[in-house]
Structure 1
Amino acid sequence: MGKEKSKKRQRSTSTSSSSSSSSDSSREKKKLRKLKKKLKKEQKRTEKILKKKLKEEKKKLKKKDRSSKSRSREESSSKVEEAADIPIELMEKSRAMAPMTKEEWEQKQSVVRRVLDEESGRYRLIKGDGEVLEEIVSRDRHRQINRQATQADGAFFQANTVSKRT
């Protein structure tokens, strides 16, 4: 029995030395996790603070816009000078993020323009932001369009192959 106890002791000491090194690495991992959590919390706090400041500035801009409309031209010109202190990018972003009014949307959708598709050589009717409309044409006009498109397609293909070779 004395031999068995000594063997158990030797095993336990060998495992304890390896476990201490593994516990050290696990402690380091825990420290790293804690640090990461702290950094994330700090980052969230700063983001919240920045968002609050941005909202406050937007509110101030809206108030200035409302007040400048009701005042006379002389007073509004002094307000414009004060608004020059606010970054232009901020003002543009706030306008871009605002929803469109129905009138603005209808005005934008009422615009129909012809756009050349360089790859196919066809002119397309584009309505508003990007809706493609069909154009009804006669049979002869359709053949003429297809001929032009084929020629433009060939020219586009040649231009791309020549530019790739050089």
Structure 2
Amino acid sequence: MYNPSVRFPRRAFMLEVLPAGTTVLQSRQNRTPPPRGMLVLITPLSRQPIGTGSTRYGPQSCTLLRQEQLATQISLFGTGAADAAQTLLTLWRDAWSTTFFANLVAQQHGMPRLAPLYADNAECLPYVNAQQQYEPHWQLTLHSQLTFSITLPAATATAATVHSVAADRL
């Protein structure tokens, strides 16, 4: 069964904390008319490595880990957008969001680990709809740490033969 939370943990967060009926979509979709009510668009901006990757070895596998900083732009449109932006900003900067993502990862197999870092302040931007009417439009950027991992099979030895050689013969 398809679960969008596995691929889009930030969307799951927003659906949890924003008012019921809020539409939350990945941005940059062509020919998609805006829905009625409040609309939230999620736009990935950048993924930057934080440090050198690491490798963990298991009995028959190795897992490569890479820490990245992920910046995501959140655009909110419609009535209630200002309050929704402040809700996201407040919760992203709180330990509640860290617990939310930890619980989400525990429930969903294969979901990357995501931890909130900080959020830029929300800004009110001009937006004119198709009917040439001004609508509320708020925007903020959420920054998070993403732990990306790849697990590969590792070569292992099933048996070893040890020979002793006297040191004076080397």
- TM-score bracket, normalised by the shorter chain, equals under 0.3
TM-score by length of 2: 0.20
Using CA pairs below 8 Å that are at least 6 residues apart, which structure has the higher relative contact order? 2
Larger Cα Rg: Structure 1 or Structure 2? Answer: 1
Query: In proportion to residue count, which structure has more helix?
Result: 1
